[in-house]
Amino acid sequence: MSNDDLDLLLEDLKSPTERVRQEATQQLWQRWFHQKGIMGLELLQKAQILLESGEAAEAEAILTRAIATFPDFAEAWNRRAVLYYLLKNYRKAIADCQQVLRLNPVHFGALHGLGLCYAALGDYSAAIDAFRKALEIQPHAIENQRLLLECTAKLS
């Protein structure tokens, strides 16, 4: 997929038509998960299965290995950030989200995760900033709109 295709998908995220937004979102996630081909995808899938079966340490080891093998694999960093968030290790999750965004500045999932982590730590200003950035990419994301309002209310 070319950069022109990426630009079109990012524009589709702003479409007034929900179906167009959903299709663009799906294609972006597919692009991100498949960035490193079958090997990268299989590592992500294996880590997810382990995480869902309660084997977080094993899932973390696989994701860390994927990152060591493919340091520019943004989705491996993102999946590990999700794992850290679920384990309530918010500082590690934030560090991984920031790495995702260095590699892929339009990764709305990492921006959402960053906002969740900052909110969990009570840093509502930083959470608001992350949710706003996510909404710049995906303006119709109801969950980020809601979280932005919740964090704003906590500051007042």
- What pLDDT digit, counting tens, does each position of 74-98 carry? 999 999 999 999 999 999 999 999 9
* pLDDT (mean) for 40-52: 97
CATH code assigned at 133: 1.25.40.10
- pLDDT reported for residue 35: 96
- pLDDT reported for residue 2: 67
Same domain, 44 and 84: yes
Same domain, 110 and 143: yes
d(CA 142, CA 56): 29
d(CA 104, CA 119): 22
pLDDT-based confidence at residue 156 (cuts at 50, 70, 90): confident
Same domain, 71 and 26: no
CA distances in angstroms from 124 to 17, 94, 129, 131, listed in the order given: 31, 14, 9, 10
- What pLDDT digit, counting tens, does each position of 127-148 carry? 999 999 999 999 999 999 999 9
**Structure token digits, residue 148:** 């932005």
**Structure token digits, residue 6:** 């990426």
Same domain, 71 and 51: yes
Print the domain residue range for 23. Answer: 1-33
Q: Give me the number of domains the chain comprises.
A: 3
Query: Is 74 contained in some domain?
Result: yes
**Structure token digits, residue 89:** 């290790």
d(CA 153, CA 156): 5
- pLDDT reported for residue 3: 72
